[in-house]
Structure 1
Amino acid sequence: MVAKDGVYGDRVALERFTSLYLVSNTPKGRGVFAGRDIPSGTIIDICAVLVLDPVENVEHIEKTSLYHYTYNWPMANPAGKPTKTQAVVFGLGSMFNHSTEDQNVGWKRDLKHELVTYSALRDIREGEELCISYGDHLTFVDADAPAQAGWTERPEDVLAGIELD
């Protein structure tokens, strides 16, 4: 059987860069760091996701801290029209911190296989924190951005409230 992009029929090859570590006490909280240099384009992790039922998400998940770790996930509703729900990303996907200016990890959704693939956007040096962009809607003060006068936290400004493609 010939593999195309790591897909073998109904089987998908999972990969993870092996030299990573988690640090619990960074200025941003927990963070993932490179244990050795990572060349640009290297797959960091391929993470399975759990796609949440839209009703279950609104009635239950949005009321918990788990909601702040979910990603927008497009799906077709019974009428065949596009809609969105949330997905819980397993693996390292929910551990990457945000950086506005210096993200070094990009990601791509695979809707068919319910996966997210994270890859190095540039060469990453040993000891460097791996960061993605959460977009413009944050539930926290961005540690990388200049101080913003009048910034207030709003419930709708959450990681789960942005399109992540």
Structure 2
Amino acid sequence: MSAVKKDTLPLTRSAHLVLVSDTPKGRGVFAQQNIDAHTVIETCPVLVLDPVENTEHIEHTTLYHYTYNWPMKTANGSVITTQAVVFGLGSMFNHSHDQNVGWERNVEKQVVTYKTLRSVSAGEELCISYGSHLTFKDVSAPPEEIEEPHEMLSKIQLD
């Protein structure tokens, strides 16, 4: 008997990704081979954090710097923002103003899917945009830069 239910979502990971530990930005995800534009390179399940636990505990840990903003419906139907831990390589993508990977959040299925925005060359780091509210120094930004980086949409049109 099969334990697979109708409501399943395939998890995807490109076989052509590697995690490098010693980059100027810390750990980073790199392409081992050329990857075509609009290729799904990773689908990651997430763990949505309880807003109270997030505020009282997670915000005071290193883990908080690896979480994504995540919308959550409350009991009265309003939507608040909490955090989600993205499993897989999702929390390992570094930021770049010249991002080559976009991400799409599926709130209902609690996954994030990452796709290349353009063709990526072997050896190139795969980077996303963290949006305009960075809580750290962006080592990829030119020193004289004053403007905030481009706002990353939670849903990107990649087709």
TM-score bucket (shorter structure): 0.7 to 0.9
**Equivalent in 16, 21, 24 of residue 18 of structure 2:** 21
Q: Which runs of 5+ in 1 are unaligned?
A: 1-7, 151-161
Q: CA RMSD in A?
A: 1.7
Q: Percent identity?
A: 61
Q: What does 1:43-54 correspond to in 2, within 5 Å?
A: 43-54=40-51
Query: Would the aligned equivalents of 1:49 and 1:88 in 2 still touch at CA under 8 Å?
Result: yes
Q: Which runs of 5+ in 2 are unaligned?
A: 155-159
Which residue identity lines up with residue 67 of structure 1 in the other structure? Y
In the TM superposition, residue 70 of structure 1 has moved relative to its aligned partner by 0.5
Q: Distance in 2 between matches of 1:40 and 1:149?
A: 28
Q: Distance in 2 between matches of 1:20 and 1:46?
A: 13
- 1:40 matched to 2:37? The reply is yes
- 1:123 matched to 2:151? The reply is no
**Equivalent in 65, 71, 74 of residue 71 of structure 2:** 74
In the TM superposition, residue 9 of structure 1 has moved relative to its aligned partner by 2.6
- 1:135 matched to 2:131? The reply is yes
Query: Would the aligned equivalents of 1:72 and 1:164 in 2 still touch at CA under 8 Å?
Result: no
- Per the normalisation by structure 2, the TM-score is 0.87
Q: Distance in 1 between matches of 2:30 and 2:112?
A: 19
Deviates more, 1:130-139 or 1:104-113: 130-139
- 1:144 matched to 2:146? The reply is no
Q: Distance in 2 between matches of 1:149 and 1:163?
A: 18
**Equivalent in 87, 91, 95 of residue 88 of structure 2:** 91
Stretches of 4+ moved more than 4 A in 1? none
Q: Secondary structure at the match of 1:12?
A: coil
Q: Could you list the per-position Cα deviations for residues 81-113 of structure 1 after superposition, in whole angstroms to 9, with x for gaps in the alignment?
A: 11111000000100000001x100000000110
In the TM superposition, residue 142 of structure 1 has moved relative to its aligned partner by 1.4
Q: Distance in 2 between matches of 1:79 and 1:70?
A: 25
Q: What does 1:100-111 correspond to in 2, within 5 Å?
A: 100=97, 102-111=98-107
Q: Distance in 2 between matches of 1:87 and 1:99?
A: 21
